[in-house]
Each structure stands twice: as C-alpha cells, then as structure tokens.
Amino acid sequence: MNKTITFIAALTFASVLFVNSIATAQEIPAARIAIVDNRLIGQNAAVAIDINRQINQLSTELQAEITTTGNALAEEEQTLKAQSAIMPQEAYNQRAEEFQRKAVEYQQDVNQKRRQLELAIANAQAEVDRALKPIRQKVLQDTGATMLMDKTLVLEQVPGLDVTTRIIEQLDISLPSIIVELPPVAETNAAPVAN
C-alpha cells in the first residue's frame, strides 16, 4: 500500500514537472539564427576602409617623427662617444646625463604616441560599433531572426542565413566615414570610449 502511494505521488510529481517544462518551452520563441561575418565588415565597409586608410597615414606620420628623433639621438650619442676621449671627465659626465635624460624622454614620447594611436583606433571602433547596433537590430527585425551569430562560430549553414552584405550596405549609408584623430596627450591615460 505504501509503495503504491509512493509510486502515485512520484508519478504525479513527474507529471507536474513535465507539464511545467512544456509550458515554459512554449513561452520561449523558436531560435532563428542569422549569420554575420564581422571580419568581412571590418574589411569591406566603407567606414572600415576609411578608418584603415587614416590609421595607416597616422601611423606612417608618427613613425617618421619617431625615426627622425631617434636618428638625431643616435647621432648625438655617436658624437658624445667620439668626444669622450678629448673632453674633460666632468663635462663629459654632464653631457652624458643630458643625453640620458633625452633618451628617456624620447622613449616616453614613443610610448605616448603608441598609446595615442591605440586609443584613436579604439575610439573609431567604438563609434562603428555604436552605428552597427541599430543596424543589427533592424536586420533581426526585418529577417525575423532571434539572434545574430558570427560566422567564425559556425561550422555549417544552409544558404540564405548570411546577412553580412545587408549590414555592410546599411552601414555604408549610415556611416560612410569618420574622422580618426589622435586624442590629446592627457586623454591617453583614460579608457577608450564605451559603447
């Protein structure tokens, strides 16, 4: 008798759980996935091409500036070494200290310029990400998809799920270009602009 009651209670409990899980499953919409190739967006969108062009230009300018200053420091070091034999020790020590200070300042300047360039890239990417958000939402709405998944996470797919071209076209319309600027020196210690 006790076994029968226990069995009926267990069966009732299992039935309640089963019915609840069916009800919960019916509340969750069916997953419809659209695929997007973010790498392709980063290569082919007009704004990405424009950002890359500007970053390359800024990088080339900064590298030229760094190289010019570095070459001048190298020449100064060679001159100082050549004069070490004919210069009084005290004067040499003073010039060597000045040179060392310049070398440290140069290295700090190089690091600062690199941080500025990295922050300029991060700020540009954040601006593109802000522009992509409503585009992605609209694509989800237009296609009836419930989620976007990056193509790098997909092993196989059927044709028609990739919405990359649509996103690039809409991004090209809404944000064809931006101005990539090196932030002022004081800002390079702050975090990049948040999304």
Number of structural domains, the chain? 2
Q: Global pTM?
A: 0.72
Give the tens place of pLDDT for each residue, 175-192: 999 999 999 977 555 555
The answer to whether position 194 is within a domain reads no
Give the tens place of pLDDT for each residue, 6-54: 666 555 665 655 655 555 555 777 889 999 999 999 999 999 999 999 9
pLDDT at 139 > cutoff 60? yes
136 and 58 inside one domain? yes
181 and 131 inside one domain? yes
The answer to whether position 195 is within a domain reads no
CA 177 → CA 44, 80, 127, 174, distances in Å? Answer: 12, 49, 10, 9
24 and 49 inside one domain? no
Domain that holds residue 16: 1-29
Buried b (16+ CB within 10 A) or exposed e, 144-153: ebeebeeeee
pLDDT of residue 187: 54
